[in-house]
Homo-oligomer: A and B are copies of this chain.
């Protein structure tokens, strides 16, 4: 008994995506069944399978969505920071840390995603978003071409781990952890700035 058409269907897909995002973020991928997602979205598993190929596909859509949000935040921060690549690197990196720790993104993007969609695919997603910005600004800031990919990986990994460290730190001290992460990050980035 489908009450829906066209626009309503897209709305349903979005509700499923939102429910999945919440559940995956709070319990982790493995502990969430598609029945949980369907119930939370007020539909049956049939609807979920209609809009997404399978559980991994749904997760992929969730991850891509979050990834795009984070990349947006980074891009905005870098643009606001001005035209100097050094400032863009600093501002973008800090924005990345804040954006990815704020959202329900950490569990999904940094813990489950590599295992669920595979590291290759995960990195491909990342390379199309925030990592691309990082790589470009590192090039402008004078990192040698031969070391560009490796350096991008290093710094990307550093910031990801810092984000996990902040997100999973004792909840009463998240703010001080965040401050320390930013300070340590500055120290690290200083070696790339003039």
Contact = CB atoms under 8 A, between A and B. Distances in A.
B150 A28 contact: no
Number of copies: 2
A119 interface: yes
A64 interface: no
Contacts of A154: 158-159, 161-162, 181, 184-185, 188
Interface residues of A, number: 41
A82 interface: no
Contact of A161 (B116, B153, B183, B184): B153
Interface of A: 28-30, 110-112, 114-116, 118-120, 123, 146-147, 149-151, 153-162, 164-165, 168, 177, 180-181, 183-185, 187-188, 190-191
5 contacts: A111-B119, A123-B164, A150-B177, A150-B184, A153-B165
Given A150-B165, A150-B183, A157-B164, 13 more contacts: A29-B115, A119-B164, A123-B164, A149-B180, A150-B162, A151-B184, A153-B161, A153-B181, A154-B181, A155-B158, A157-B157, A158-B161, A187-B191
